[in-house]
Amino acid sequence: VYDFINTPKTALIKIKDPKEYYQKLQIHNKLNSFRDYIN
């Protein structure tokens, strides 16, 4: 979140929305086993 807020708009990098990462993290944390990725 720090980089998202403090990166200059003129920077040559693509600023990504941290909400997307957070949503992916929640999905992965809900899984109990690697087998859950398959089902």
Q: What is the pLDDT of residue 25?
A: 93
23 — phi, psi (to 5°)? -65, -45
More confident residue, 29 or 3: 29
Neighbours of 10 (CB within 10 A): 5
Q: What is the mean pLDDT of the chain?
A: 87
pLDDT at position 1 over 90: no
Q: What is the pLDDT of residue 26?
A: 94
Q: What is the pLDDT of residue 23?
A: 94
Q: What percent of the chain has a predicted confidence (pLDDT) above 70?
A: 97
Q: CA 10 → CA 6, 18, 19, 25, distances in Å?
A: 11, 19, 22, 29
Number of structural domains found in the chain: 1
